């Protein structure tokens, strides 16, 4: 089976743990990845958005990818995040390939008003930097029409995967219809978009919930791929929507809430790096209450001592 065909179901999305002084905690990362790789994810994403790639140096990204590859130990491929600009993105892609990654995930460039020709040049430079297939993450200001995606598929030879982060299922369906099987289609905005993503026909999605409840991530994908929307509705209502309501309370909480949830459930994650901010005491109390719902069904062990002061 080709690498493209293997990316079906759920891509786990491990956070990047930091110590209290905001230095990398690679030992914690190795433990977390080893646990996650015990579940049948189709891949793990190292130093992606949830992995705070934009707060890392190129050397730190390389270290995170290397440790993730070592801890995964061949159980699944590792996708490595990159971005920033052409030269930095290409440098990180080369480092990631050397560290053992099998796919490069290109986040949008730092400049939010780039013309389309400039964006193509950006992805071409990153794509040409390694011999690995390229996954473009269309999020934030990296917005594309169906025609733009088709032209990018023509002009970026390594482009293999398209990861949507816009959440516009109507447009995404048109993009998929226009470009067809030239690319593999993934959902990337969040676990809360699983019903819409699988309804339009993605083959996999990236899950931050994989950090705290791997079995829930896999159940969501299983129901989505079977188009069992009655089952999906129940999972979304009980577990996903309440968590995402917490994540929406402040900018950057998509990472801070997941790190706090990991700490509450006994998994090392540490604080977030600026410009993100950690959760408030009130939000952590509400998160703990929600995780008690997860505890019975997904074998979480909700701790009783964690507080934001510990971050």
Q: Which residues are catalytic?
A: 137, 163
- Look-up: residue for tokens 């011999």? 131
Q: Which residues pair with 45 in a beta bridge?
A: 79
- The closest of 151, 56, 44 to 105, measured between CA atoms, is 44
> Rounded to an integer, what distance in angstroms lies between the CA atom of residue 254 and that of residue 152?
29
The 10 Å CB-count burial string (b at 16+, else e) for 73-110 is eeebbbbbbbbbebebbbbbbbbbbebbbbbbbbbbbe
CA 182, 189, 207 angle in degrees (round to 5)?
A: 95
- What is the DSSP code (8-state) at residue 74? T
Collapsed DSSP state (helix, strand, coil) of residue 105: strand
């Amino acid at each position: 089976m080709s690498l493209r065909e293997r990316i079906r179901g759920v891509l786990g999305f491990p956070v990047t743990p930091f110590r209290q002084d905001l230095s990398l905690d690679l030992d914690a990362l190795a433990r977390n990845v080893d646990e996650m790789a015990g579940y049948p994810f189709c891949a793990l994403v190292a130093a992606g958005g949830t992995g705070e790639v934009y707060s890392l140096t190129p050397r730190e990204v390389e270290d995170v990818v290397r440790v993730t590859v070592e801890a995964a130990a061949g159980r699944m491929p590792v996708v490595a995040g990159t971005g920033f600009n052409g030269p930095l993105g290409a440098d990180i892609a080369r480092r990631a390939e050397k560290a053992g990654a099998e796919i490069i995930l290109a986040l949008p460039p730092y400049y939010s008003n780039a013309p389309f020709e400039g964006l193509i040049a950006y992805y071409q430079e990153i794509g040409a930097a390694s011999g690995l297939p390229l996954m473009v993450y269309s999020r934030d200001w990296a917005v594309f029409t169906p025609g733009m995606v088709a032209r990018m598929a023509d002009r970026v030879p390594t482009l293999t995967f398209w990861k949507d982060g816009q959440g516009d299922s109507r447009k995404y369906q048109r993009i998929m219809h226009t470009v067809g099987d030239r690319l593999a289609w993934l959902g990337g905005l969040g676990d809360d978009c699983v019903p819409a993503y699988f309804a339009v026909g993605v083959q996999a999605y990236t899950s931050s919930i994989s950090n705290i409840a791997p079995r829930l991530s896999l159940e969501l994908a299983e129901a989505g791929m079977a188009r069992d929307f009655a089952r999906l509705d129940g999972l979304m209502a009980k577990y996903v929507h309440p968590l995402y309501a917490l994540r929406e309370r402040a900018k950057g909480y998509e990472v801070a809430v997941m790190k706090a949830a990991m700490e509450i459930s006994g998994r090392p994650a540490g604080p977030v790096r600026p410009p993100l901010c950690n959760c408030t005491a009130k939000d952590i109390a509400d998160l703990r209450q929600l995780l008690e719902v997860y505890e019975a069904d997904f074998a979480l062990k909700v701790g009783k001592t964690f507080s934001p002061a510990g971050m």
